Amino acid sequence: MKILMIAPQPFFTPRGTPLSVLHRLNTLSKLGHEIDLVTYHIGKTIPFENVNYFRIGKIPFIKRISVGPSKRKIIVDLFVFFKSLRLLFKNKYDVIHTHEEAGFFGTWFSKWFGIPHLYDMHSSLPQQLTNFKFTKLKFLIKIFEKLENSTIENARAVITICPELFNYVNERWPDKKQQLIENVADNSMVFGEPEIDETELREKYELNSKTIILYAGTFEPYQGLDLLIESGKSVISKTKNVTFLLVGGNPDQVTHYSQQVKKNNLKDYFVFTGQVVPEMVPKFVDLADILVTPRIEGNNTPLKIYSYLRSGKPIVATNHMTHTQVLNDDVSVLTGCSAESFSEGLVKIIQDDKLKEKITTNARKLADEKYSYEVYVEKLKNVYAYMETQKNPAKEQK
C-alpha cells in the first residue's frame, strides 16, 4: 500500500511520539509498504527503505519545538497542512496515516480525496492543553474536544497506544475499529548497538557507587524529577553508597535540576549526562541497578517501561495510572506519588534481594508473553489488513 503519513513533530528527536513514529515507519517499511512522510523541518533524517521524507521549508525563527502544545506548533502545523495537501494533489495514496493533531487534517483530507484515514492516537489532545498548562480557556478546550471527537468518529480505524486511551475510545465509540498497539519496539532495532562498554561509561561519569539508580527520559515537570530529587535525601541518609544517574534533558533543564540538587546538598550523589543518542540509553540501563520512573501526571504509558520489563533490572515507579496500565506489584515496586513513599520504595528494593529476583523474573515473563515485538508486528499488520478493505475505488483521487 502507498501511505501518506503525517507526523507533526520534530522528527527524529528522541522523545515520546517521534519514537513511536520511528517504529511505525521501520515496521511498515519492512512489511513492504511505501510511505511518504510529512514532518517538521527540525529533526534527524533516519533512512528507511520505502520511506520518502517531505519536510516543510525551514522557518528561520523556529529552531526547536518543546514537548506539548505551543504557539510555535500552531505555526509549523499550518506548513505541514499545505505540504500534505500538495502531495495529495500530486500522488495517489491508499491510506492517510496521521499522528496527534494531524488527525484533524486527516479528517478533511479523507473527505476531500476519498482516501481512508487511520488515526494514530498518542494522547487526548484536549487533555494536553491542561496537562502542559497551555491554556485554561474553556472555549479553546471545547474546540479541541470537538476536533478530536470528529477525528475519531470519521477515521476508518484508530490506533491507541495504551489501555487508558483504548478504554476511552471504546467507551465512547464502541463500534469504531480500534487496535491497541503498545510501543514495545526496541530502539536498537533501528540504531544498532553503540561501540562503548560499561567500563567506559562508568569511568566517563565516575559511577563508582554500589547502587546506581537510573532515570532516563525527558525532563518535563510531569516526569516527577522534583519528587525524585526530594526522595534522594532520605535514600542517601539510609544508604550512603548510591548514585542517582539522570539521563536526558536539554541544557536549561539540566542546569535547573543541577541547581536544585546543589541546593539540597546532594551534589555528590547525582550525575547528569544531558541528552544522549537513543542507542546509548540501553547501555545506561545495563549498568544500572535500579530503574525509576517517578511520573506524576499524564495518561500514557512511558515507552521505556516495555524495555525496562525486559531488562532484568528492578523497576520502582509511582502508582499513577500512567504506570499501572502495565505495571503491578508482581513486576515492580509501586509507590505513592510523594517523595516519602518513593524513597521507601527505593530503600526497600535496595535492601531486599529476594524481592529484586521475584519482580525481575515476573517482569521478563510479562514482557515475553504480552509485549514482544512479534505481537507489535501482528497488531500493525491487522490494522492495515483492515484498512485494505476500506479503500473506496468509487471516488477518483485527484
CATH of domain 2-184+373-388: 3.40.50.2000
Q: What DSSP element (H or E) covers 120?
A: strand 117-121
Q: How many angstroms separate the CA atoms of 22 and 99, rounded?
A: 12
Residue 159, strand partner residues? 120, 179
Q: How many angstroms separate the CA atoms of 172 and 182, rounded?
A: 21
Region 313-317 average pLDDT: 98
- The predicted pLDDT at position 136 comes to 65
Q: Which residue in 9, 21, 53 sits closest to 35, CA to CA?
A: 53
Q: How many angstroms separate the CA atoms of 329 and 371, rounded?
A: 18
Give start-end residues of each CATH 3.40.50.2000 domain in the chain: 2-184+373-388, 194-370
Q: Is 111 helix (H, G, I), strand (E, B) or coil?
A: helix
Question: For the segment 369-396, what is each residue's pLDDT rounded down to a tens digit?
Answer: 999 999 999 999 999 999 999 976 444 4
Q: What pTM did the predictor assign?
A: 0.84
| Residue type (1 letter), 26 | N
Average pLDDT, the chain: 92
Question: For the segment 249-306, what is each residue's pLDDT rounded down to a tens digit?
Answer: 999 999 999 999 999 999 999 999 999 988 899 999 999 999 999 999 888 888 899 9
Total residues belonging to the chain: 398
Question: For the segment 139-160, what is each residue's pLDDT rounded down to a tens digit?
Answer: 777 887 898 999 999 999 999 9
Residue 178, strand partner residues? 158
Residue, of 102 and 126, whose pLDDT is higher: 102
Question: For the segment 90-101, what is each residue's pLDDT rounded down to a tens digit?
Answer: 999 999 999 999
- The predicted pLDDT at position 12 comes to 94
Top CATH class, 194-370:
alpha beta
Region 157-168 average pLDDT: 94
Q: Is 157 helix (H, G, I), strand (E, B) or coil?
A: strand
398 confidence band (pLDDT: 50, 70, 90): very low
- Sequence-distant contacts of 181-184: CB under 8 A, at least 24 apart: 181/376, 181/379, 181/380, 181/383, 182/301, 182/306, 182/326, 182/371, 182/376, 183/19, 183/20, 183/23, 183/303, 183/306, 184/306, 184/367, 184/371, 184/372, 184/373, 184/375, 184/376
Which residue is associated with the grid cell 525551514? 58
**Cβ neighbours for 231, distance < 8 A, ≥ 6 positions apart:** 294, 339, 340, 342, 343, 346
Q: For 171-221, where are the E strands, in sequence order?
A: 178-180, 211-216
